[in-house]
Structures are given as C-alpha cells and as structure tokens.
Amino acid sequence: MKKMYRLLLLVFISLAVPGRAQVTKKQIVTGFVDSLYSQTLKESRHIWVHLPDTRNDPTNEKKKYPVLYAFDGGYLFNSLVGMTELLSGSSLCPDMIIIGIIQTDRGRELTPTHVANMAPFDVSDTTFAKTSGGGEAFTAFLEKELIPYVESTYPATSDRTLVGHSTGGLMVINTLLKHPGLFKQYVAIDPAMWWDHQRLLLESKAILSRRLLSGKTLYLSLSNTLPRGMSLTAAQKDTSIKTLHFRSALQLCRLIKKHTRKGFAFRWKYYPNDNHGSVALITSYDAIRFFSESNTRQ
C-alpha cells in the first residue's frame, strides 16, 4: 500500500512541476514552397515564399508589397525573412514579400559566360565550370516567367530587389548592367568579379559609360578574403592570385564611382571582420537600411 501511495505521489509531483506537463507543439513557419514550370529552362522550378503577416491588421488584406528576390534562396531565405520582419516592425523598412530562388545548378544558373575550367584558380573539381554560362537564360526565366508569376499570384508591387552572393553577386551585377529594368534595388554580396578572367568587369566600363541607371540603387560588399595581415594598401598593389577576388570587386567599385550619374544611388563597404561566408548576413542588413534611407531622400 505504501509503495502504491509513493508511486501516485511521484506521478502527481511530476505533473505539477512546471515544464513537465505535456504541451501541444506548434511549428514556427517562415514561409512555404511554391513551384512553376519554366518553358525557358524546360524544367520545374521551386521557390520559397514569405508573405507579410496581415492577421492582426485586417486593413492590410488588399495591400500590395515590394518583393525581394534572392539567389541561393535555400541559403539566404530564413535570415532575410527574420531581418525584414525585425526592421519592418521597427519602421526601418517596408513589409516585404521574400522570394527565395532555389538553385539546382549554381554553375549553370549563376554565371553569365561559359568557361572550360576555373582558371586562374587551381581547382580540381571541374563540375562547376562544366555547366557554366547559363546566366542569361536564367535571367530570361526571371523576366518572362518568375516575376510575372509572382506578381500575378501574390500581392506584389513592381518594386523589386535582387540579392546575390558570390557568383550570385556576379549575376546581380550582370543583371544591373545588362537588364537594369528588371529590378529597382540590387545587392551584390562579395561578387565573384574574377569570373572568366574578369570578363564582366572589363565590359563594365563601356556599359557604365552609356547607361544612366537612373532610379536604381546598388549596395556592394567586400569581405576580408585577403592573406592574414595584409593591409588594403598592400592588397591594391598586389598582383597575385591570393588577392584576385578582392581586387576584382574593388575595381568594380571604383568604376561605378567614376561613372555614377545623377539618380543612381550607390554604396560599397569593406567588412574586415567578416569572411566570404559570414558577410552575407551583415551585408543584407546594411543594404536594406541603405535602401530605406535612399527612398526617404527621393
């Protein structure tokens, strides 16, 4: 009898202790997966979608929102959703729809030209180079299929932002220079301007000299990919492969500053305490703040 009493007492205590009682677990959802078939690419494409929460504000049910499109959506999506939700809640940016573009082949989709290998970098894996050069076809998919689909399916305005990191940043610059009408704001995170022996960088001077880019905004970041202990001054004078990524992006910044015209907002920033991977988060934050400031001044 005593043993039974003790057992019942233990059960009672376990139920009474905070945190021991069973609770219903609910998922925290930041978005959902959508898809569309691309006639341009001849394949089905997936996107991750985040819509602003209007449940607590019925007046917003018919409201439309600017859209932020991100290359490498599986990588950047959650951080962009959290960041924009935080900033919009603090009135530092508008509520946004976030579209995470899921890449199936980064080499094919996020490079504007084909290369036979990764020269001048000594990279043994040739898979990336093998399928490279499909960036223009992917841009056509954005223009003719993805953007029209998003703007006809979701409460989206034509105020669009494009975000890309590394070769995604390369494609952001390619889109700005060659298809400037597609987006209003552009974020190039540590762009791989070294690609194809700096081909796009070399083309930039002629393109920038004739394109006004009025009404467009660009934020470009550089991470610390320099050899340990190397100063910025030394890096700019260096000619080795070790500084090629950094120098290529820096040269683009100088070209853009030289050819900046009225109505084109541009800012670049070097992040000495961030590497190529970590710079994506802080760049996105600073870019969104910059865009909000620029729109306020206009």
Measured torsion, CA atoms of residues 292, 296, 223, 272, in degrees rounded to the nearest 10? -110
Degrees, nearest 5: CA angle 289-213-137:
95
Domain-embedded: residue 23: no
Q: In whole angstroms, what is the distance from residue 154 CA to residue 49 CA?
A: 10
pLDDT for residue 193: 97
Domain-embedded: residue 212: yes
Q: In whole angstroms, what is the distance from residue 296 CA to residue 97 CA?
A: 20
Total structural domains within the chain: 1
Q: Where are the alpha helices (DSSP H) in the chain?
A: 2-16, 73-89, 106-109, 127-130, 135-141, 147-153, 167-178, 195-210, 232-237, 244-259, 279-297
The SS3 of residue 160 is strand
Is 41 in contact with 141 (CB distance < 8 Å)?
yes
pLDDT for residue 4: 44
The partner residues of 70 in beta bridges, in order of sequence, read 100, 163
Domain-embedded: residue 241: yes
pLDDT for residue 297: 62
Domain-embedded: residue 55: yes
pLDDT for residue 10: 45
pLDDT for residue 107: 95
pLDDT for residue 13: 43
Domain-embedded: residue 9: no
Nearest-CA neighbor of 168 among 199, 208, 195, 207?
195
- Residue 104, classified by CB atoms within 10 Å of its CB into exposed (0-12), middle (13-18) or buried (19+), is exposed
End-to-end CA distance of the chain: 82
pLDDT for residue 18: 56
pLDDT for residue 292: 87
Q: Render pLDDT for 173-220 as a digit per residue (tens, 0 to 9).
A: 999 999 999 999 999 999 999 999 999 999 998 999 887 788 999 999
pLDDT for residue 28: 85
Domain-embedded: residue 17: no
pLDDT for residue 259: 85
Which residues of the chain are modeled with pLDDT < 70? 1-23, 55-61, 122-125, 296-298
Domain-embedded: residue 13: no
CA 69 centroid distance within chain: 7
Break the chain down into helix, strand, coil percent, rounded to 5: 45, 20, 35
Where residue 186 sits, what CATH number does that domain have?
A: 3.40.50.1820
Domain extent, residue 123, equals: 35-297
Q: In whole angstroms, what is the distance from residue 117 CA to residue 92 CA?
A: 44
Domain-embedded: residue 279: yes
